[in-house]
Amino acid sequence: MNNYETIMIINSDLEEGAIKGAVEKMTNLISSHGTIEKTEEWGKRRLAYPMEKHAEGYYVLVNFSSNPEFIDELNRVYNITDEVIKHIIVKKN
C-alpha cells in the first residue's frame, strides 16, 4: 500500500446536490479500493485559467492509501466522469 493525494475539481455550475453526489461517488470508489485518511472540501474557488469554459470549480482534496494498480483505474474514472473538469493524483512519501 502506498500513500497518495488527489485533488479533483468538480464543475461548480452543477446544483449542490449533484456536486455532493460526485464527491461521494469518487470517495466511495477510493474507499472501496483503499483507505481514506482525510477528505477536505475546499469549496468553490476561482480557477487560475478557464478550463472547458469554466471560470470556477469546486475543489476537493483526498489523502488515501491504496495499491499502485488502483491509480490507473482512478485516473480512468476521473477522465470519463463528466462532473470532474480537472484532477491530479500524487504519490506521497
The answer to pTM > 0.85 is yes
Give CA–CA dist 67/4, Å, rounded: 10
Do 56 and 47 touch, CB atoms closer than 8 A?
yes
Q: What is the pLDDT of residue 38?
A: 94
Give CA–CA dist 16/29, Å, rounded: 20
Q: What is the pLDDT of residue 51?
A: 84
Q: What is the pLDDT of residue 41?
A: 93
CATH of the domain at 66: 3.30.70.60
pLDDT tens per residue across all 93 residues of the chain: 999 999 999 998 899 999 999 999 999 999 999 999 999 999 999 999 988 789 999 999 999 999 999 999 999 999 999 999 999 999 997
Domain count, the chain: 1
Domain range enclosing 60: 2-92
For 40, phi then psi, to 5°, come to -125, 120
